[in-house]
């Protein structure tokens, strides 16, 4: 079974993480940020060192490693009952970040919508500088690294948009305030949630019918 996924798409500083965290609080949506997953690694572990090596230069972690780490994380979440793929949509934040990752993910996820958060580069750079002070992120602290991340987005990540059917892409004005951006995103989520709920109800009904039929069968035999 492929996981249903909404892609939160946008350059560094566009507000994907902020919106993703809020959306992840809504029942039926599970937020998964590859940046957060990488940052939770022990920097002394091998994976942690690989992450530091690339992220501190503003570069992407190699694709196979990224997909492997993400897959382990998401199956772990499923195992510990934090993520329920039958009734929840994954809100993917920071993945896929290039076309190769999009290809590698085709067997894992079914993309149902792409929310493309757009803002002017200067606005995003200003937000990253502010975040550097608040969250002490090593990759925000230096202007050269910020510039490199913006370039990586333009060169590697933006082409991901053309990889998917264009009718899935919704452009969101991310220059607005956080609450206004959220207000624009919410109507995009409602039909997805309704569809998911209808599928869960249909599966529950089918299960109940099968159980009743089995019970009748057992009575008939006794």
Question: Contact at 8 Å (CB) between 160 and 96?
Answer: yes
CA torsion 109-110-112-113 (nearest 10°) is 40
Q: How far is the CB of 132 from ligand ADP (least distance, A)?
A: 11
Task: Give the range of 58-66, 175-183, 197-205, 208-216 binding ligand ADP by CB under 6 A.
Answer: 58-66
Q: Which of 6, 32, 35, 172: binder of ligand ADP (CB under 6 A)?
A: 35
Nearer to ligand ADP, 14 or 196 (CB): 14
Residue 73 touches ligand ADP, criterion: CB under 6 A: no
d(C-alpha 206, C-alpha 200), whole Å: 10
d(C-alpha 57, C-alpha 165), whole Å: 32
Residue 139 touches ligand ADP, criterion: CB under 6 A: yes
d(C-alpha 124, C-alpha 179), whole Å: 17
Residue 15: both structure tokens together: 């507000």
* Residues between 172 and 211 that touch ligand ADP (CB under 6 A): none
Q: Which residue has the tokens 């869960």?
A: 200
62 DSSP assignment: P
Residue 83 touches ligand ADP, criterion: CB under 6 A: no
Q: Which of 8, 55, 104, 189: binder of ligand ADP (CB under 6 A)?
A: 55
Summarize as ranges the residues that interact with ligand ADP (CB under 6 A): 12, 34-35, 38, 54-55, 59-61, 66, 94-95, 97, 101, 139, 149
């Amino acid at each position: 079974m492929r996981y249903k996924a909404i892609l939160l798409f946008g350059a560094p500083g566009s507000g994907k993480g902020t919106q993703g965290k809020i959306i992840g609080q809504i029942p039926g949506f599970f937020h998964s940020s590859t940046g957060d997953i990488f940052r939770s690694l022990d920097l002394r572990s091998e994976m942690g060192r690989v992450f530091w090596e690339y992220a501190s230069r503003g570069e992407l972690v190699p694709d196979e490693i990224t997909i492997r780490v993400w897959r382990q994380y998401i199956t772990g979440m499923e195992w510990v009952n934090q993520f329920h793929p039958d009734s929840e949509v994954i809100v993917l934040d920071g993945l896929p970040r290039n076309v190769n990752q999009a290809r590698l993910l085709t067997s894992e996820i079914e993309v149902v919508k792409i929310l493309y958060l757009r803002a002017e580069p200067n606005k995003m750079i200003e937000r990253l500088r502010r975040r550097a002070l608040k969250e002490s992120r090593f990759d925000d602290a230096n202007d050269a690294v910020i510039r490199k991340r913006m370039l990586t987005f333009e060169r590697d990540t933006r082409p991901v948009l053309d990889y998917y059917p264009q009718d899935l892409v919704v452009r969101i004005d991310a220059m607005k305030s956080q609450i206004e951006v959220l207000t624009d995103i919410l109507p995009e989520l409602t039909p997805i949630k309704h569809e998911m709920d209808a599928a869960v109800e249909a599966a529950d009904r089918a299960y109940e019918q099968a159980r009743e039929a089995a019970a009748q069968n057992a009575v008939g035999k006794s």
